[in-house]
Structure 1
Amino acid sequence: MATPWRVLTLAPLDRDLVKGLFKPLGDAVELLFPESRDEDGLLAVLPGAELIIGDFTGLFSLDKRVLEAAPHLAFVQTPSVGTDSVDVDMLAKAGIPVANTAGANARGVAEWALGAALVLCRHLAWADRGVRAGGWPQRELLARNPREIHTQRVGIVGYGAIGSETARLFEALGSPVSYWSRRRRPEASATYRELDDLLAVSDILVLTLPLTPDTRGLLDARRLALLPDQALLVNVGRGGVVADDVVVEALESGRLGGAALDVYEREPLPPDHPLRSREDVLLSPHGAGGTGQAQFNIVAAVRDNIVAAVTGKPVANVVNGVDPLVRRR
């Protein structure tokens, strides 16, 4: 009888759910779970791990110490699109493929980006707070210059599965859409512009980029200053692409007319952070992709890749350039 593959699940999922997910594999897998959600719990279970399902909360980072503690590690699957909690380059050098769930939550995140832009354009959250407080800020609302979405030029930074779906939704409402990406997309419906040119013509700027060494701090104060006055920022990518303090400064200066943020440099956002007190900011707890359909898609993608790895088939969505055929170490 073949030795079962040892699958370590780091995400805070119910054990019975995980067991049910891989029940069809029977004795082909042995499931491992950290007994405590801290470094000691992680290090105690790593020596036996061959396949790791990462942690979508970001609590457990997969870095050099993990590789040293897991000599048999052969594959890492993130239950998310982002891989910023995984040292993908280090694992690439070790010949260990890393896969994400690209596209699984694209529609959910794109709908959040569009909905957030509508909230900012029409000041919906601000008006809701005023009415709930006992007021009737009708004239004040008109004085804030509500905008119709089709009149807004939309710029999308990052044109992967989320960026392209976001472009399609804005285009359906009549907004002219441009994009910048690290490589041009010949199939794109939106117009390609160099980054600085894109910023100069974006009334609504949507960030969908992952966080990598190349994208960290990509939008600094100089670049945000290129935006038209009172531009709106929607970030569904990663917080580190634009620093939270840079966003605050742009809001205070009036360069930004509002921001909708689902992601932050530090999560959870610190209780005393100035973003929490601004009425021109819509805050969300990194939940843009948190729809039932998106979660189903992510779980299915994780399951399919673990099944592929165990049964000797190539895994999908490898992000670090390693051969997708998982081999025991």
Structure 2
Amino acid sequence: MTAPARPLLYLVRALPGAELAPLRASFEVRGGEPHPPARDRLLAEAREAAALVVTYLDRVDAALLEALPRLRHVASYGVGLNHVDLAACRARGVVVTNTPDVVTDATADLTLALLLAAARRVAEGDRVVRAGGWTTVDPGWMLGTEVTGKTLGIVGFGRIGQAVARRAAGFSLRILYAAPREVAFPGAERVELDALLARSDFVSLNVPLTPGTENLLSRERLFAMKRGAILVNTARGAVVDEAALAEALASGHLAAAGLDVFRDEPRVPQALLARENAVLTPHLGSGTRETRAAMTRMVLADVLRVGRGEAPLHPVP
């Protein structure tokens, strides 16, 4: 394929709110279809790309970098970076950027939504009503779990974890957190992870996926959680042993779970699909119109800056 007269910008997927006109003066823009191309087509169409825009589902590894010899910038639409081989990018002098901060509020909002939905059996109740299963009034039927005044354990206490804690204050929740460092947050108590799991009525996972956090909630830790607790995961699916989680839900050891992320997205394990006490959403953490459009603006602004030889606003070290 002949190299383009202008540097090539390749979008692996369409981005919401993408206004590409400002980019076309500086780049030849390709891709951006609703669904990503197959790997061989991607390699052919993007071979001359100077900039590549990807999402968390698009793996950027050494093999891809080898196949795109002109690549100088990987712009990741999202915060997590477990899909990008940062060491391989650094070795080739490829700049990596992402979209931090902007997803914080939307993800924290969804965390509380999942916690409430799981505790009060909202999704399950919706299914019952739609199926015509609500036929009588029984004061003992479909009882959920009180939220107000209980203990919330937050695993990972960065921007999103702290935003979850601020929202939890409205429910008078006591806050425990497990994090590598002490954080000055009024009323929150830092504890070791195992102590957090043993003491918390609700556990929210808000850690990045790294080699150190993969399977962080192992089978052993899931069954060490307080009996009747509720787990919420808006981080990454691979932080949890999904088979063991399904087992804990089926046995009643855990009362419920609210899950927005899964190990092999968009595939969801059948064992979790079968659990009425699991509230499942399709990775909606940043899924508001406002947030997704803001993420697009951040990605494209850094594409322009790097293309002009300027320092990006959101570089990944």
Question: TM-score scaled by structure 2?
Answer: 0.89
Q: 1:47 to 1:189 in 2, by over 3 A?
A: farther
What is the root-mean-square deviation in Å for CA atoms of aligned residues? 2.3
Identity rate of aligned residues, in percent? 32
Cα gap change, 1:183 to 1:74, in 2 (>3 Å): farther
CA drift of 1:128 comes to: 2.5
Write the deviation string for residues 197-253 of structure 1: whole angstroms up to 9, x where unpaired.
111111111112222212111110111122111000111011000021011121123
Change (3 A) 1:173 1:99: same
CA contact (8 A) 2:257 2:277 kept: yes
Kindly state the Cα deviation for residue 145 of structure 1 after the two structures are TM-superposed.
Answer: 4.4
Q: 1:103 aligns with which of 88, 98, 101?
A: 101
Contact 1:230 1:255 in 2 (8 A): yes
Pick from 296, 303, 311: which aligns with 2:308?
311
Corresponding residue number in structure 1 for 2:12: 10
Residues 9 and 30 in structure 2, CA contact (< 8 A), matched pair in contact too: yes
Q: Could you tell me how far apart the structure 2 residues matched to 1:79 and 1:239 are?
A: 18
Note the C-alpha offset of 1:92: 2.5
1:30-49 → structure 2 map (5 Å cutoff): 30-33=28-31, 37-49=37-49
Q: Secondary structure at the match of 2:41?
A: helix
What code does the residue aligned with 1:139 have?
D
- Unaligned 5+ runs, structure 2: none
CA distance in 2, matches of 1:46, 1:261: 34
Contact kept, 8 Å, 2:149 with 2:171, in 1: the verdict is no
**Structure-2 residue corresponding to 1:260:** 258
Q: Distance in 2 between matches of 1:295 and 1:101?
A: 10
Structure 1: how far apart are the matches of 2:87 and 2:183?
25
Describe the SS at the equivalent of 1:118: helix
User: What is the number of equivalent residue pairs in this alignment?
Assistant: 310
Partner of 2:52: 52
| Structure 1 pair 69–277 and aligned structure 2 pair: CA distance change class (3 A) | same
Partner in structure 2 of residue 201 of structure 1 = 199
Q: Give the residue type in structure 2 aligned to 1:288.
A: G
- Whether the aligned pair in 1 keeps the contact of 2:77 and 2:296 (CA below 8 Å) is yes
Q: Whole-Å Cα distance in 2 between the matches of residues 132 and 26 of structure 1?
A: 49
| Superposed counterparts of 1:167-186, under 5 Å | 167-186=165-184
Q: Structure 1, residues 261-301: CA drift from partner, whole Å, max 9, x if none?
A: 1111112235x712112111111111232111111221121
TM-score (norm 1): 0.86
1:27–1:131: structure 2 CA closer, same or farther, 3 Å change rule? closer
CA distance in 2, matches of 1:219, 1:267: 18
- Distance, in Å, in 2 between the alignment partners of 1:150 and 1:45 is 54
Moved more, 217-226 or 145-154: 145-154
The more displaced of 161-170 and 233-242 is 161-170
The residue identity in structure 1 corresponding to 2:10 is L
Q: CA deviation at 1:152?
A: 1.9
CA contact (8 A) 2:74 2:96 kept: yes
Structure 1 residue ranges without an equivalent (≥5): 322-329
Cα distance in 1, alignment partners of residues 125 and 32 from structure 2? 46
Report what 1:122 is aligned to: 120
Residue deviations 1:40-72 (CA, integer Å, cap 9, x gap): 11110232111111134x1x3111111111112
Counterpart-to-counterpart distance in 2, 1:144 and 1:27: 59
